[in-house]
């Protein structure tokens, strides 16, 4: 390679780099980098969770909201112990799952806890395929308990954070029962806020402010 060939090769490479890092792309990347989560997610170590086992990979393209169902969980109960129990049961002989079935969990006091890695597919006991879903679950039973203003704020802010993080439209937020006829999940109280359009509208409003 003579000198002029070297210069022309270098020029070609630089031109390629310039097009790869076009201004629009750089702006988009910097927006993502600047975006900070508005809701703090406590790591697994906070509830003494063990690492999940390797499982099918995914990039979330929609978000589905759940409740745990079964037992009530009040603000005075130990939400972290409840989550630890879910993991022990789910990874045990009953289910043999790779981890907790859900990616993010919300305690009755509004604390958000890390679950399964969002880049791995979640789990379900019903007939829908959760591939591509980011699963957010309220601990407790919302057929019997109710969301308060704090929980509604946490949920909508968390949803907005995740929409930005994965480039998901608020229109792609739904609930478990929208995908399955075998369940009333996420419970009557939570579902009411989806049915009347409140949640999606609030998330759209939060995204406009960013």
3-state secondary structure of 111: coil
**Rounded to 5°, angle at Cα 110 from 109 and 116:** 120
Q: 119: how many CB neighbours lie within 10 A of its CB? A: 14
CA 183 to mean position of chain CA atoms: 20
- Give me the residue label for tokens 């063990």: 50
Shortest separation between residue 69's beta carbon and Zn ion, angstroms = 7
Residues 6+ apart with CB under 8 A from 200: 170, 171, 173, 194
In the bound state with Zn ion, the residue whose beta carbon lies nearer, of 67 and 80, is 67
Q: Identify any residues that bridge with 137 across adjacent strands, giving them in sequence order.
A: 66, 105
Shortest separation between residue 181's beta carbon and Zn ion, angstroms = 13
In the bound state with Zn ion, the residue whose beta carbon lies nearer, of 66 and 80, is 66
Shortest separation between residue 185's beta carbon and Zn ion, angstroms = 3
Residues 6+ apart with CB under 8 A from 15: none
Q: What is the torsional sign of CA 75, 81, 84, 86?
A: negative
In the bound state with Zn ion, the residue whose beta carbon lies nearer, of 22 and 182, is 182
Residues in contact with Zn ion by CB under 5 A are 66, 176, 185
Strands 104-106 and 112-114: antiparallel
In the bound state with Zn ion, the residue whose beta carbon lies nearer, of 82 and 164, is 82
Shortest separation between residue 15's beta carbon and Zn ion, angstroms = 51
Shortest separation between residue 176's beta carbon and Zn ion, angstroms = 3
In the bound state with Zn ion, the residue whose beta carbon lies nearer, of 38 and 194, is 194
């Amino acid at each position: 390679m003579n000198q002029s060939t070297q210069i022309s090769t270098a020029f070609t490479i630089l031109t390629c780099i310039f097009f790869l890092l076009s201004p629009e792309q750089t702006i988009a990347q910097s927006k993502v980098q600047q975006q900070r989560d508005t809701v703090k997610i406590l790591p697994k170590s906070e509830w003494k969770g063990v690492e999940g086992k390797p499982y099918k990979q995914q990039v979330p393209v929609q978000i589905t909201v759940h409740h745990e169902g079964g037992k009530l969980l009040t603000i005075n109960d130990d939400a972290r112990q409840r989550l630890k129990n879910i993991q022990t049961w789910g990874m045990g002989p009953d289910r043999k799952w790779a981890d907790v079935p859900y990616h993010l969990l919300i305690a009755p006091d509004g604390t958000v806890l890390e679950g399964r890695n969002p880049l791995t597919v979640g789990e379900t006991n019903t007939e829908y395929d959760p591939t591509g879903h980011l699963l957010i679950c309220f601990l407790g039973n919302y057929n019997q308990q109710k969301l308060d203003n704090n929980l509604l704020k946490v949920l909508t802010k968390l949803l907005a954070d995740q929409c930005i993080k994965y480039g998901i439209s608020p229109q792609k937020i739904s609930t478990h029962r929208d995908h399955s006829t075998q369940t009333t999940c996420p419970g009557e109280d939570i579902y009411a806020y989806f049915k009347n359009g409140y949640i999606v509208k609030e998330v759209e409003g939060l995204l406009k402010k960013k």
